[in-house]
Amino acid sequence: MSRLYLLFLSVLLAELNDETAAENCAPGFRVSDMSCIDEDECEDEPCGKSATCFNTQGSYYCQCVTGFWINKDKVNFTADEAVECRDINECRELNNICGPNTECSNSAGSFYCTCLPDFMASNGQERFNASQSVTCKDTRSGSKSSAGLQHFNPTLPTFLPVILWMLMIYQ
């Protein structure tokens, strides 16, 4: 037999071998170098928008990215389930997440809080979120209390009558 013929035969045998091996690979595995290796299903991006794909041995699963969900109870899913990740409306789902005297605004994948008119955030920022432990202070009562403080300040006007009285006595 010629060398060429031998080469041809060995290539043919190798291919046959691969095909038999492929038939013997479990679902989610493919043949490589005459053995079954895991197929990375995530390469085909099966999870859709706003989701992360996790490859596993022989399979995969999807999870929505932070701020998105399928519903309250579902974390893992696959493309077979024909579901998609939707934005979580934190303002509706997490009751009063921003605290008192605030307004909550939903955004794609997140949310933010603002103070009601006449209220000011304790961190001085217009927008904040629940993780920053910001409170909204009433700016009107704030100006009232600072006016009240002045009354109790022991300044000259407070002691003026006393001084005048003392001057009268020691005249």
Ligand X SMILES: *[C@@H]1O[C@H](CO)[C@@H](O)[C@H](O)[C@H]1NC(C)=O
Long-range contacts (CB closer than 8 Å, 24 or more residues apart) made by 68-76:
68/109
Choose which of 29, 47, 60, 61 interacts with ligand X (CB under 6 A).
61
Would you say 32 or 114 has its CB closer to ligand X? 114
Asked if residues 91 and 129 have their Cβ atoms less than 8 Å apart, the reply is no
By CB under 6 A, tell whether 132 contacts ligand X: yes
Tokens of 85: 């990740």
- Taken in order 90, 92, 97, 102, the sign of the CA dihedral is positive
> What is the smallest separation between the CB atom of 41 and ligand X, expressed in angstroms?
14
By CB under 6 A, tell whether 17 contacts ligand X: no
Would you say 34 or 75 has its CB closer to ligand X? 75
By CB under 6 A, tell whether 29 contacts ligand X: no
| CB proximity list for 104: less than 8 A, separation 6 or greater | 90, 91, 97, 98, 111, 112, 113
Would you say 26 or 162 has its CB closer to ligand X? 26
Return the exposure string of 124-145: e unless at least 16 CB atoms fall within 10 Å of the residue's CB, then b. eeeebebeeebebeeeeeeeee
Would you say 123 or 141 has its CB closer to ligand X? 123
- Taken in order 16, 18, 23, 24, the sign of the CA dihedral is positive
Would you say 13 or 108 has its CB closer to ligand X? 108
By CB under 6 A, tell whether 89 contacts ligand X: no
By CB under 6 A, tell whether 52 contacts ligand X: no
By CB under 6 A, tell whether 145 contacts ligand X: no
Residues that bind ligand X (CB under 6 A): 61, 75-76, 110, 129, 131-132
